[in-house]
Structure 1
């Protein structure tokens, strides 16, 4: 007989498994129903939520039960990877699923971010703030000028968004605005599909905001086709407007990042696990092959600075994922990715998307703002060397 932890059993219920034999055997032999007043939880399988009652496990399982359980977890990981309908519209998610993504910030910053988002007349479905303007990074002093606030806006119809926003904030756009919103939305699709307006003055703050279609955003989070915003969302961000589809797929995006980071950490440390190194590996994923690093446009110590100043935020952001992947050995990567081919695939995709975005930025920002942005990046790189 083996003692099976409640965490391990809870993981089985959380997974997207279709192994009724495992569940039925464990339930009939070792589980007792608790009070019916307890809150329902759920299992997501191919976009459907199945309800269940919270249960109490007596902690005893046979070898065969444990083996079936492990097979069930592996099968559930495989099923999750095979579910790729990233446009599926979730009506709701199980309680607390993805709640780790909803990081809090101090009230003053929250008001500033909410004010920036509220300033747009054009509609958006999802928004998040990121970067050193939202989360402090090591290596910066109080004497440094306040960094830009970086925001991403996920919209349903980019052309409609740009049409309204051009009328309201014409000064945010380069000369591309004279070609009209339809042209701008098509130009947006080049590279990673994000249209950036840097150095926009909003409520007295310098803001760089990027516009992306929800379909493009969800596809990247679910499939890593460009790894542009998927990589960004693997580091702590501040959600300003939530969307259940993003919350669902980003939870898997975090799990995939943790899967790789665990592998790389053990590989580089003689099979010894180090939590700080684990988060550094996560933060480094999106910078592999980034053309800005090759051109010296990014601080070479950026990864270490991000994790050093935000270690506790990483812990909060990855709390349930850490338990699943590091402690319970759950494994997940998007379809088509393996531990053997991921590094090569990401290097290729990041190099391509970052290069196209950098070139595109010259046109979307305009020459003056592009030079200003590049110089600001270069100065930060010099200071931190």
Structure 2
């Protein structure tokens, strides 16, 4: 049945008036650097402005002000931005950012000029051409500068090309950045002259929900849905075996339920023909028609791998297990070489400090 189904497919302020609408407009400070007006669901914005947030918006924008322009997308994410269960912000907490740019070589050249200390001496000596090549051709096609002191905290930022970002959002080519965007983030800038970017961001969330629905049983809770959605980008990640908090997925979801609701509840309600939502559980149809619809909305890379997986002699035809295997394969292929690349881009001193901090976090979660 599954094979038959597969053949059928392939300082920021909030305007007070926004709460009257389903889509909220965030008011961007008047600066040439802020070329985007960001649109987010009202419930998502309400969540961001509560104590779920670790740092204030002006801090995030001061970080961006210190970096080169020419950004098509910029967002902040992670435990230094949003609270996670059992974790509080300290001066050693790191705020993580991802920045997309149309021209990585030019961006790194300018960043090396204004922020040379962000790069280790060896990388700095090699120049922006080598950094751009390293970024665009290895691992998840993203380059990170980490453990950068900024005011009373620390920052880490990753840079990727707009082309590779669109690819990952639409096709799940690496699930590295697209996976982070399955979870709540603070989108700080988005280039409105790139309508395909907005389309790709929406498609990425839709793809995640369809994937999760195929992995879940007929009846499940809202929290179980968010746990599956969050876990997609960690499946197959080497860091989850060594160097990450073993309760990371649970910690993210437990502290950010309202934010997840803002991202996915409207999408879930749009599946009313096959999904029934009550106060304590969600029930979905698992018939052939529903399976076909979900599979038809999977991203291209996952769909291709799934076809091979289900056609192999080893396959037991279990759709949830096959999807988990394929998602893990995508994540592992990009995250493992990306981890190695991170050791090079950070330099030996920072790489050691970063690895030790991750190991400390992992051992603490095992107690």
TM range (shorter): 0.7 to 0.9
Query: Which residue number corresponds to residue 200 of structure 1?
Result: 148
Give 1:188 shift.
0.7
How far apart, in 1, do the equivalents of 2:272 and 2:82 lie? Answer: 25
Q: 1:292 to 1:191 in 2, by over 3 A?
A: same
Give 1:379 shift.
1.1
Q: 1:323 to 1:172 in 2, by over 3 A?
A: same
SS of aligned partner of 2:216:
helix
How far apart, in 2, do the equivalents of 1:335 and 1:194 lie? Answer: 21
- Alignment equivalent of 2:103, drawn from 133, 157, 165: 157
The answer on 1:255 being equivalent to 2:206 is yes
Query: Which residue number corresponds to residue 185 of structure 2?
Result: 237
How far apart, in 2, do the equivalents of 1:176 and 1:327 lie? Answer: 54
How far apart, in 2, do the equivalents of 1:299 and 1:325 lie? Answer: 34
Query: Which residue number corresponds to residue 66 of structure 2?
Result: 119
Query: Which residue number corresponds to residue 315 of structure 1?
Result: 261
Matches within 5 A, 1:1-385: 96=23, 99-100=40-41, 103=45, 105-106=48-49, 109-141=56-88, 146-174=92-120, 175-189=122-136, 190-243=138-191, 244-266=195-217, 271-294=218-241, 296-325=242-271, 328=274, 331=294, 332-335=297-300, 337=303, 339=319, 341-385=322-366
How far apart, in 2, do the equivalents of 1:275 and 1:293 lie? Answer: 24
How far apart, in 2, do the equivalents of 1:152 and 1:195 lie? Answer: 10
Give 1:265 shift.
2.4
Give 1:319 shift.
2.9
| Preserved CA contact (<8 Å) 2:91 2:152 | no
How far apart, in 1, do the equivalents of 2:41 and 2:234 lie? Answer: 24
**C-alpha offsets along residues 192-211 of structure 1, whole Å, 9 cap, x if unaligned?**
11100001123443100000
| Preserved CA contact (<8 Å) 2:215 2:323 | no
Give 1:100 shift.
2.9
SS of aligned partner of 1:129:
strand
**What is the TM-score of this pair, normalised by structure 2?**
0.73
Give 1:326 shift.
6.4
1 or 2 for the larger relative contact order (CA 8 Å, sep ≥6)?
A: 2
Q: Which has the larger displacement, 334-343 or 211-220?
A: 334-343
**C-alpha offsets along residues 93-130 of structure 1, whole Å, 9 cap, x if unaligned?**
xx959733974634961111111112213421110000
| Preserved CA contact (<8 Å) 1:137 1:310 | yes
How far apart, in 2, do the equivalents of 1:326 and 1:370 lie? Answer: 48
**What is the TM-score of this pair, normalised by structure 1?**
0.70
Q: 1:326 to 1:203 in 2, by over 3 A?
A: farther
Give 1:383 shift.
1.7
| Bigger Cα Rg | 1
Q: 1:120 to 1:145 in 2, by over 3 A?
A: closer
Give 1:145 shift.
5.1
Count of aligned pairs: 289
Give 1:346 shift.
1.7
RMSD: 2.5
Unaligned stretches of 5+ in structure 1? Answer: 1-77, 83-94
Query: Which residue number corresponds to residue 63 of structure 1?
Result: none
SS of aligned partner of 2:300:
coil
SS of aligned partner of 2:270:
helix
How far apart, in 1, do the equivalents of 2:68 and 2:190 lie? Answer: 18
SS of aligned partner of 2:134:
helix
Query: Which residue number corresponds to residue 49 of structure 1?
Result: none
How far apart, in 1, do the equivalents of 2:272 and 2:208 lie? Answer: 12
